[in-house]
Amino acid sequence: RKEVEQDPGPFNVPEGATVAFNCTYSNSASQSFFWYRQDCRKEPKLLMSVYSSGNEDGRFTAQLNRASQYISLLIRDSKLSDSATYLCVVNHPGGYNKLIFGAGTRLAVHP
Amino acid sequence: DAMVIQNPRYQVTQFGKPVTLSCSQTLNHNVMYWYQQKSSQAPKLLFHYYDKDFNNEADTPDNFQSRRPNTSFCFLDIRSPGLGDAAMYLCATSSAQGSTDTQYFGPGTRLTVL
């Protein structure tokens, strides 16, 4: 079983749609959770950290369910510029900042 | 105002010919990481430095080595590249090793092995 699992997609949605991505992680001792965005042939960039209480940044909402080891990302009012791969990232507990990346979910927003 | 710089952006090498990828940072961060990302796969950590302390991941092949001559620079050496080593190589930095410390990625070097 992979440490971080995501639906690879692609998700093809029209502009203005709401889309949700899910992610599960296997190590219950993980403490930090993130969503990164990666454009085609570019480096990953931090989109947002994910907290137990849930957090929102504009059109983006992230949720964490520790009991289910489940992380979600909701994008409202999708824009063409949201087209990218979204990587679910979890820290690997054990004394240093090791990040475990999911393989990503690809989003394509069309006019 | 680039923060993490990788050179070259594209590298072509021949099977078995050693190659060195370069990473530099202007952030004065203590920690530097090297990741390998193959097409449609997750970035995979190869190793990292905390200051001068080198930490190799258990499953990183011996073919991959690294050097960090000073705080700003870190190199990835691939001694004998195979076809399976073709990938994007990403360098990242963070200020410390805490689990909440953000990692900043460079633009990557895309390696082709002929």
Most B CBs within 10 Å, among A48, A97, A100, A106, to test the B interface: A97
Contact check, Cβ <8 Å, A87/B40 = no
Q: Which residue of B has its CA nearest to A106?
A: B40
Asked whether residue A110 carries a pLDDT value surpassing 70, the answer given is yes
Distance from CA of B87 to the nearest CA of A (A): 11
Q: Give the β-pairing of A19-25 and B19-25.
A: unpaired
Query: Cα B54 to chain center, whole Å?
Result: 13
Contact check, Cβ <8 Å, B90/A44 = yes
Q: Which residue of B has its CA nearest to A42?
A: B107
pLDDT number for residue A65 = 93
Asked whether residue B111 carries a pLDDT value surpassing 70, the answer given is yes
Contact check, Cβ <8 Å, A31/B99 = yes
How far apart are the C-alpha atoms of B21 and B6, rounded to whole Å? 8
Summarised one tens digit per residue, pLDDT across range A85-99 is: 999 999 887 666 788
Contact check, Cβ <8 Å, A97/B94 = yes
Summarised one tens digit per residue, pLDDT across range A33-61 is: 999 999 998 999 999 999 888 899 999 99
Secondary structure (H, E, C), chain B: CCCEEEECCEEEECCCCCEEEEEEECCCCCEEEEEEECCCCCCEEEEEEECCEEEECCCCCCCEEEECCCCCEEEEEECCCCHHHCEEEEEEEECCCCCCCCCEECCCEEEEEC
- Region A2-24: what's the mean pLDDT? 94
Question: What count of CB pairs under 8 Å joins A to B?
Answer: 53
pLDDT number for residue B105 = 94
Sign of the Cα torsion A38, A46, A27, B47 reads positive
Q: Give the β-pairing of B109-113 and B10-13.
A: parallel
Contacts of A4 in chain B (CB under 8 A): 42
